[in-house]
Amino acid sequence: SRRAVVAAVDLGAASGRVMVADVSPDGVSLAQAHRFDNGPVRLLDTLHWDALRLYTEVLAGLRAAMARHPDLASVGIDSWAVDYGLLDRDGALLGNPVHYRDARTDGVLDAVVAKLGAEWLYGTTGLQLLPFNTLFQLTSAVDTPAMAAAERMLLIPDLLSYWLTGVAGTEVTNASTTQLLDVRTREWSSDLIARAGLPARLFGELRRPGDSAGVVREMGLPVTAVGSHDTACAVVAVPAEGERFAYVSCGTWSLVGVELPEPVLSAASRAANFTNEAGVDGTVRYLRNVMGLWVLQESMRAWGLSDAADVTGLLTGAAREPALGALVDVDDPVFLPPGDMPARIAAACAASGQPVPRSPAGFTRCIVDSLALAHRRAVRQASQLSGRDVDAVHIVGGGARNTLLCQLTADACGLPVVAGPVEATALGNALVQARALGVVHGGLSDLRALLRRGQQLRSYRPASGAEAAWQAAETRVHPSR
Ligand code: LFR
């Protein structure tokens, strides 16, 4: 057929949405059926996700989408990576999924790396070392009663899909973020699983984007596996022409990198902590996690600010602040956990002999400048380490709305920035479904060409002569390099 209406469920750390996409070879139009807040729930000492509430909201969104579009042909689900639920032999959930920012993994990365060897681990999985990778979360929980009873580990999108359909499966793009997949074969590394002392029974059969993944029992709606990792969907929807582009998938995190046909597993790549995550169509998402707008979101929480108008106010104020004043290394792990973010930024400024920002606008400027600097660093390293020339930087996701960040990223990188689409993740999710349904055809470049028709994109030219100041800023923040 020439057209399909599909639902894209996209769960982020701060909010979830159910979008409806009308896809045809002429383009995609997107509308929101349901949106809800998401966030951690602290029970005693542990940060959790409220998995049953997520399920309830997803179902409410699907009902709303169905009511408006009885011709809905399929649904695809994506979310943030690495987090999971454990199921017992009856398929029951063993405890609430734990949030990746929880402290239970403190020190675990170092212990596992000491045991397995950083080089071997990188050569096997191709993954950057992040303290919350599923490998480390599972290791931290290996002696718990839940683990003893566990028969299956399902990542968040697969868990929701299981509850909707009764069918358990594991989608490969998200599985690649666990640090338990073999980067070459894209199958579970049984060797690594054994050496890490994890039960092999937890890791079930893998499915690929485009595979069918059951039927939502309540409404008979087919589920199609997409890139269930949100970043995999977002990269599908980078509206680039050709291959000489870098992307910043910019939301709670900034995922900064390039798309490659093969992984890069060099010593330099490992030292720079670049990751080779599995993309749609066998591509490699060669990128690094930059701490992202989390730093601003968490500062806003400390200031008692939360809505879109508050962000606009802060950014307007920040734009009037002097450029490249105080700068911090946003990727310092000190900024990872929840808590008083302005206090941590102030401490970092003071420790490096810089003036401490004095107002929310001042802090916001420091955050946005520091983020643009981190984008520069990651774009340049991605290009150098992979040998891929980059002519433009695409910013997709919510951060594409942040005009200050987009302009500063262009200035810092010395490259044109193309901003948008804001809803890249939902668009990538929908396009993979539409292709599986036979409505659109071809590879990622064809899907991207289709996307360029009709998306509102905004271009930013780098300010001339800005590079030297950003080069100097880089030396200030990373003096040893
Ligand atoms: C972005 C993202 C990143 C992943 C982080 C934690 O939403 O999925 O790709 O590193 O969340 O899961």
pLDDT score, position 200: 98
pLDDT at 481 over 60: no
Q: Give the residue, by CA position, lying nearest to ligand 1 atom 2.
A: 80
Q: Which residue has the tokens 């106010």?
A: 313
356-392 pLDDT tens trace: 999 999 999 999 999 999 999 999 999 999 999 999 9
CA of residue 83 to ligand 1 center, whole Å: 10
> For 97-140, how does the pLDDT look when each residue is reduced to its tens digit (9 = 90+)?
999 999 999 999 999 999 999 999 999 999 999 999 999 999 99
pLDDT tens per residue, range 414-423? 999 999 999 9
Which atom, in ligand 1's list, is nearest to the CA of 253?
1
pLDDT tens string 29-68: 999 999 999 999 999 999 999 999 999 999 999 999 999 9
Question: Ligand 1: distance of its center to the CA of 229 in Å?
Answer: 8
Average pLDDT, the chain: 97
Contact 440, 234 (CB under 8 A): no
Output the residue whose Cα is nearest ligand 1's atom 1.
80
Residues annotated as catalytic (active site), given as ranges: 230
Report whether pLDDT(455) > 90. Answer: no
Average the pLDDT over each of 158-172, 347-361, 446-460 and give the range with the smallest value: 446-460
Q: Does residue 80's CB lie within 6 angstroms of at least one atom of ligand 1?
A: yes
From ligand 1's centre to the CA of 166, what distance in Å?
A: 26
How large is the C-alpha radius of gyration of the chain?
21
State the distance from the centre of ligand 1 to the C-alpha of 252, rounded, in angstroms: 8
Lowest mean pLDDT among 52-61, 148-157, 307-316: 307-316
Out of 47, 49, 82, give the residue to mutate to test ligand 1, the one with the largest number of ligand atoms within 8 Å of its CB: 82
Kindly report the protein residue whose alpha carbon is nearest to atom 4 of ligand 1: 81
- ipTM (interface predicted TM): 0.99
